[in-house]
Chains A and B, each alone.
Chain A
Amino acid sequence: MVTPYDVVSKVVDPELRVVTIAELGILRDVAQEGARVVVTITPTYSGCPAMDAIREDIRKALARKGFDDVAVVTKLSPAWSTDMITPAGHEALHRAGIAPPGSTACPHCDSAKTLQISRYASTPCQALRRCLGCAEPFNAVKTL
């Protein structure tokens, strides 16, 4: 039988589509209270614009498996940090050409010689770097 946790943990992050919300560490809890499924999530950054999309994706994924009574709760404490990204999340980011937090090595050629081009990038949680080995630019998840 498919549990609500199985369903919710497979929802992908709408901006970093290579990792699930469980791997990213923003899924805090999935509980069943009678017929109701209560999902608790936490934002990466306070103003993360993906939160509305994530709530919607969670509802849709659960509805497809017959869970129609869903509450998505946001919990801020303890504050999200990049330490909450799982080892599988690190792997998935690296495979997709994104340097996981704590690493500045090029995810394409593994060269350690890289430069920060911009402290901010396409999402609040990333910075932009360039590899001096293969010359490719890449996103890096900022350590928070």
Chain B
Amino acid sequence: MTDPMSEGSSRVNQQARVPQRSGGTPLELADDALIAAQRLSEWVARAPTLEEDVALTNIALDQLGVARLLLQSLGDEDELAYRRGDAEFRNCLLVELPFGRARGDLDFGWTVVWLLFLAAAQKLRYEAWDNEVAAKAVKESAYHLDHATQWVIRLGDGTSLSRERVQAAVEELWPYTHELTEGIRDDWLSIVEPVLKEATLVKPSHDTWRPSGGRSGRHTEHLSYVLAEMQALHRAHPGVQW
């Protein structure tokens, strides 16, 4: 299959695909934030407590805000968010996965582990990137990381049921963190490992399956479902405004 973004694409400007010192391209960071925002929005009005509903919604809003600012700097934000096909997205696989083993799952423990892994990586990439959007986003990522850290510790070092659920999430999501942290693995581990330790959680002992492909547009089937929901309205009514 040819990569629709590989040559002469007029949708993004030249800057979009230039690797930064932080290891990611602007388009990769934008797509990570955009898909994470869409995923997190599944929690709206469904979180275990009202406070957590507000928290996850605010984190989704922060992610969406960063995604919009980055996409605006790369081209037409609506065109990029709503008109690209799945193979044109450059997000890592982690952000497109459901919050549980199967599509439609919505496990809170799973979500906070996912957020811990993601926020730690985003914070490192934003810190290393000399960019005004990133300079703003790094403060927000630090807060997301802090929030996820507190929950992972509380649930991991909690009841047998809560521990079992977050431990399962660590094991299932760990393989995907290799793609997420390419180039920043050691720094990322130095953030995440102490949290897992304090939470009495253990990393998977075998660590050889390392799924990737998101950065070149080869995604899991889950991204297509995310995009279907995110893009349906705009595709049916191009240019529609609220």
Contacts and interface: CB of A to CB of B under 8 A. Distances in A.
B186 to A, nearest CB: 27
Contact of A117 (B51, B63, B136): B51
A124 B135 contact: no
A24 to B, nearest CB: 16
Interface residues of B, number: 25
Interface residues of A, number: 22
- Label chain A's interface by main secondary structure: loop
A77 B58 contact: no
Contacts of B147: 119
A121 B53 CA distance: 10
Main secondary structure of the interface of B (DSSP, over half): helix
A115 to B, nearest CB: 12
Interface string A41-69: 00101111100000000000000000000
Interface of A: 43, 45-49, 76-81, 117-122, 124, 128, 142, 144
22 contacts: A43-B136, A45-B62, A46-B68, A46-B140, A47-B61, A47-B64, A48-B65, A49-B61, A76-B69, A78-B135, A79-B139, A81-B139, A117-B51, A118-B52, A118-B54, A119-B51, A119-B55, A119-B146, A120-B54, A121-B54, A128-B51, A142-B143
